[in-house]
Amino acid sequence: EPEVTQTPSHQVTQMGQEVILRCVPISNHLYFYWYRQILGQKVEFLVSFYNNEISEKSEIFDDQFSVERPDGSNFTLKIRSTKLEDSAMYFCASSQGQGGEKLFFGSGTQLSVL
């Protein structure tokens, strides 16, 4: 079965540094998402992306966050100046159609901000 690939699986960074989390969605998918899960808490929606632009974003997704689809295969999440509270597991997801019918999730990137 096709899968969403995320790299790296673990990322450690210093507070204030920029990080880029990378995702390769499934090739024929059109809708892309980032979610995050702080340890012990629920999985939270960050942003959705379609047709090369953000279609929806949550309150969490402030000016420190940005997303990009720099080429035909990658989908990245950038955090410009990381804070301690950004430490979480970040999940990328993609789907062929809308309606959340079937999101395929990657295995996540564990971000630790020190």
* Least distance to other proteins, CB of residue 24, Å: 13
Choose between 29 and 108: whose C-beta lies nearer to other proteins: 108
* Least distance to other proteins, CB of residue 11, Å: 15
Mention every residue, 6+ apart, whose C-beta is less than 8 A from residue 35.
43, 44, 45, 46, 90, 91, 93, 105
* Least distance to other proteins, CB of residue 46, Å: 9
Q: Strand 31-37 and strand 88-95: pairing?
A: antiparallel
Choose between 8 and 16: whose C-beta lies nearer to other proteins: 8
Choose between 65 and 105: whose C-beta lies nearer to other proteins: 105
Q: Which tokens in the block code for residue 3?
A: 């899968």
User: CA-CA distance, 38 to 68, in Å (whole number)?
Assistant: 23
- Give residues in contact with other proteins (CB under 8 A): 4, 6, 31, 33, 35, 41-45, 48, 55-56, 91, 93, 98-103, 105-108
* Least distance to other proteins, CB of residue 70, Å: 23
Q: Is 94 helix (H, G, I), strand (E, B) or coil?
A: strand
Choose between 56 and 85: whose C-beta lies nearer to other proteins: 56
Helix spans in the chain (H) = none
